[in-house]
Chain A
């Protein structure tokens, strides 16, 4: 009956506690919140979606936030556990509150009253809506001590031409918590590359976040409108991808700058001026770029879109081949600073090359090294009359002259021998097995290896001392083996159960006992009679344990046959017999042996006994 009562208490307690925290699961609330509701254009703020009552939240869709640039800052569980005790009943109640928060950084794209729309959030399979939030966005204005300027290296350019865009922030007061917002860096009509410029060894550089990347900005001094400022400046290379006039929206820089000073009393320094910081958002000047298309008139049919001024060089290896053998042709294109999108024409379109060479249609994309881009292609001579790799022409549009021009390689002399064997279509297509002249595969050390996706990834592995706790069976097995060994030793040592192996252990003991006695003879103070008596006793014990005989009455006749059976040779058995005889003689007929004779007897006996121990089977 009492057992039943205890069980009832356990069940009741469990029910109470389970109810306590399942209750909290039921009330799901989804809220939206913003860091501030009055901001400037380009000033970012944090927008949160807060879920209470569950942490099983699917990523909300915020694609409707068209008036804002949105950066996802991550989502995080906000589960809390509270334990309380009811003062009346003394019951302890555990309450778990589940929660989840998604954070976004929003940057308004225009001024005015903007609405952050409602967002549908799926929590534990059910849909909930957040409320819409109104944000008042003002246009930022310039302040005397702070200016932000954008300069383009040119106002007119061609599609694909590289234009340097320099951003300079002027400030004459102390500043902190700086953030640049340049919305057009992600404009799909153009691409931006980080400008790599020679560093001024006397200038100071800072790495600052701009958009989704880090740029290195130079800190120095400069002047604007006749006034001296501290400046922070960095550049980007703009490559327009479409024609038309690009009116860049104003970029902004937001920061906390000194707006005044107040007097405060310092314990050590007395009355001092302490700076007062205010939040500023400063707009840049307006900038525009007129982008023209490259002319269609006179455009070579092999034109691959290169704009600027380019040179090209060629190299080939090997320079002596048989018909059909691969020749690696390397074309090195040199031109403006940023060659990421630079491409050379399809070599299959160059007739001077295709009439003598088979060129695969696929070509590896080039590798950029400094201000060069290296393209490699395998070509194969079609006949043995080929004497050279001809001049290869790469067309480009020279913006300086406004015309299409050609970068040309030098012709490369080539010795082509008749085919080593029959050249197949496969060879000419470049699909044959690799030739002996193929290059070794070289390990590419750049980049990282693949992710692990097998189920091992979600299996917990112990670390440190936890390894032992995780493998108790192994510990038990090895300890059992150790105990088993100890048990065997104990059994043999005390000759329990009369096992045959017991003699092995005890004979070892008697062997060492006998040797000990024999070795102690030269230093012994005993009489010859006593010494030989002791040797005889130990010898009997030893042979008795070896042959499983009662040692006390052993004489040589008892052991002679048995020793021969255990593979001891006749001479050795005779020596044992002699040892028996000598010891018995001295023991039973004192005065027969001198002390020196007994010493010699003991010395010889050591060798004999060791031989017995070694050869006994």
Chain B
């Protein structure tokens, strides 16, 4: 054991080193956020008079916010929402939709996000309807899709705790309303536990992605030698589900269920590793 001590110490030191290399301090994150906010406001002020300059400022704001995500290891709905807004203002609908999708993982029912996301989607060139069965599932299991994982977890814990409290009370007093409460708690905790299990296992956003370049010719195979899949190219903001990766090409399924191949450089996945 004593011989292992120096080895463990060394490991700890390296871990510290890695943490330092990848993450920013709290002060640095605060600074980046303040500067990003200031740039965004500056851009808003310039938008009417000097759109080109405003665009530069929005770009800088987006870069500052992205540093918070990449180097500060901060992940939440609001930061992705702010990044998306900056890209949208720059006219980059692809990256705007990508970041709105990232934000929706954390706060799927935020009204501002829903409004902006919907508006950004309305501005993209390609209009691709959602698969009918997917729409039905979204309506039937609205709680699964519309409530963030974190909130579902809290609800589950609440009902799970209430189950044991109700069961404990019933050991002493046979109160009918407690019995009903127990059944309700069992049903709700079961529903939310199932939803959480699906979230954890499927990780639904893992393979979702968005096209981020202005135009990309989708093809029937994984090289330029294959014929285009559609008469027109796909455009920025088109959402897809990644099916398979082959070198620099991705086999993707569009929201209407049609599959095609696109170069991986033209798209980005919602999930950030």
Write the residues of chain A forming the contact surface with B, with a CB cutoff of 8 angstroms: 2, 6, 9-10, 13-14, 17, 21, 59, 71-72, 74-77, 79, 81, 83, 92, 94, 96, 186, 207, 209, 211-214, 445-454, 456-465, 467-468, 471, 474-475, 477-478, 481-482, 484-485, 488-489, 492, 501, 504-505
Return chain A residues, CB-CB under 8 Å to B165.
Answer: 481
Q: Is the CB of B171 within 8 A of A488?
A: yes
- 17 residue pairs from A and B, CB less than 8 Å apart: A6-B2, A6-B6, A21-B20, A92-B10, A94-B17, A96-B20, A96-B21, A214-B91, A448-B115, A448-B116, A451-B85, A457-B76, A457-B82, A461-B77, A464-B200, A474-B153, A481-B165
B18 in complex: contacting residue of A81, A452, A461, CB < 8 Å: A81
Instruction: Verify B112–A461 contact, CB threshold 8 A.
Output: no
- Measured between C-beta atoms, what is the minimum distance from B25 to chain A in Å? 11
Could you tell me the distance in whole angstroms from the C-beta of B107 to the nearest C-beta in chain A? 9
A13 near B60: Cβ-Cβ < 8 Å: no
Once bound together, how far apart are the Cα atoms of A456 and B75, in whole Å? Answer: 11
B212 within 8 A of A: no
| A17 → chain B closest CB, angstroms | 5
In the bound complex, CA of A431 to CA of B244 (Å) = 64
From DSSP, what is the main secondary structure of chain B's interface residues? helix
Q: How far is the CA of A14 from the CA of B120 in the complex (A)?
A: 50
What are the residues of chain B within 8 A of A492 when measuring CB–CB? 171
A10 surroundings in chain B (CB, below 8 A): 5-6, 9
Return the 5 tightest CB-CB contacts between A and B, nearest first: A449-B112, A10-B9, A461-B76, A452-B78, A481-B164
Determine which of A454, A459, A465, A488 lies in contact with B168 in the assembled complex, contact meaning CB atoms within 8 Å.
A488
Q: Is B106 an interface residue (CB 8 A)?
A: yes
A184 and B2 CA atoms in complex are apart in Å by 75
**Contact present for B153 and A467 (CB under 8 Å):** yes
Q: Given A17-B14, A21-B17, A492-B171, A214–B214 Cβ distance below 8 Å?
A: yes
Q: Chain B residues in contact with chain A, CB under 8 A?
A: 2, 5-6, 9-10, 13-14, 16-18, 20-21, 29-30, 33, 37, 40, 51-52, 55-56, 59-60, 63, 67-68, 71-79, 81-82, 85, 88-89, 91, 105-106, 111-112, 115-116, 119-120, 149-150, 153-154, 157, 160-161, 164-165, 167-168, 171-172, 199-200, 203, 214-215
Whole-angstrom CA separation of A468 from B153 in the bound complex: 8
CA A492 – CA B171 in complex, angstroms?
9
Interfacial chain B residues near A504, Cβ < 8 Å: 171-172
- The answer on a CB contact under 8 Å between A456 and B215 is no
In the complex, are the beta carbons of A461 and B153 less than 8 A apart?
Answer: no
Give the one of A2, A59, A454, A460 with max B CB within 10 A. A460
Whole-angstrom distance between the alpha carbons of A209 and B5 in the complex?
Answer: 61
- Nearest B residue to A614 via CB reads B174
- The answer on a CB contact under 8 Å between B52 and A212 is yes
Given contacts A10-B9, A467-B153, 12 further A-B contacts (CB under 8 A): A74-B63, A79-B21, A96-B17, A214-B214, A452-B78, A452-B82, A453-B37, A458-B79, A471-B157, A478-B161, A481-B165, A484-B168
Which residue of A has the minimal Cβ distance to B116? A448
Cβ of B46 to closest chain A Cβ, rounded Å: 13
- Inside 8 A of B6's CB, which chain A residues have their CB? 6, 9-10, 13
Say whether B30 contacts A458, CB under 8 Å.
yes
What is the CB-to-nearest-CB distance from A150 to chain B, in angstroms, rounded to a whole number? 21
Q: A458–B73 contact, CB under 8 A? A: no
Q: Are A449 and B115 in contact (CB under 8 A)?
A: yes
- Are A457 and B13 neighbours in the complex by a CB distance under 8 Å? no
Query: In the complex, A599 Cα to B194 Cα: how many Å?
Result: 49
If A94-B17, A464-B200 touch, does A450 touch B215 (CB 8 Å cutoff)?
no
Q: How far is the CA of A140 from the CA of B71 in the complex (A)?
A: 44
Q: What residues on B are CB-neighbors of A505 within 8 Å?
A: 171
Closest A residue to B70 using CB positions:
A77
Among A207, A209, A485: residue with most chain B CB under 10 A: A485
**Chain B neighbourhood of A464, CB < 8 A:** 149, 199-200, 203
The residue from A6, A79, A449 contacting B5, defined by CB atoms under 8 A apart: A6
CA distance A458 to B82 in the complex (A): 11
In the bound assembly, the distance between CA atoms of A213 and B106 in angstroms comes to: 33
A212: which of B55, B79, B106 is its contact (CB, 8 Å)?
B55
- B56 x A72 contact (CB < 8 A): yes
**Residue from A10, A59, A71, A457 having most chain B Cβ neighbours under 10 A:** A457
Name the distance in Å between A183's Cβ and chain B's nearest Cβ.
Answer: 12
- Tell me how far the C-beta of B135 lies from the nearest C-beta in chain A, rounded to whole angstroms: 21
Contacts of B73 in A (CB 8 A): 460
> Using Cβ atoms and an 8 Å threshold, which residues of chain A touch B75?
460-461, 463
- Chain B residues whose C-beta falls within 8 Å of the C-beta of A488 in the assembled complex: 168, 171
Residue of A with least CB distance to B14: A94
Of all chain A residues, the one with the shortest Cβ separation from B157 is: A474
Closest B residue to A209 by beta carbon equals: B214
List of B residues within 8 angstroms of A457 by Cβ: 33, 76, 78-79, 82
User: Known contacts A212-B55, A448-B85, A478-B161; is A458 also within 8 Å of B13 by CB?
Assistant: no
Nearest CB of chain A from residue B262's CB, rounded to whole Å: 17
* CB-contact partner of B51 in A13, A207, A212, A478, under 8 A: A212
A468 to B154, CA, bound (A): 10
* B33 and A467 contacting across the interface, CB-CB below 8 Å: no
B17 to A17, Cβ gap below 8 A? yes
Which one, B68, B82, B150, contacts A467 given CB within 8 A? B150
- B68 surroundings in chain A (CB, below 8 A): 458
User: Which residue of chain B is the closest to A471 with respect to CB atoms?
Assistant: B153
Q: Bound complex: CA of A186 vs CA of B81, how far in Å?
A: 31
- The complex places the Cα of A2 from the Cα of B89 at a distance, in Å, of 64
Contact of A451 among B16, B20, B37 (CB under 8 A): B37
Q: Is the CB of B30 within 8 A of A465?
A: no
Is B82 a contact partner of A463 (Cβ separation < 8 A)?
A: no
Q: Report how far A83 CA is from B15 CA in the complex, Å.
A: 12
Asked if B17 contacts A501 (CB within 8 A), the reply is no
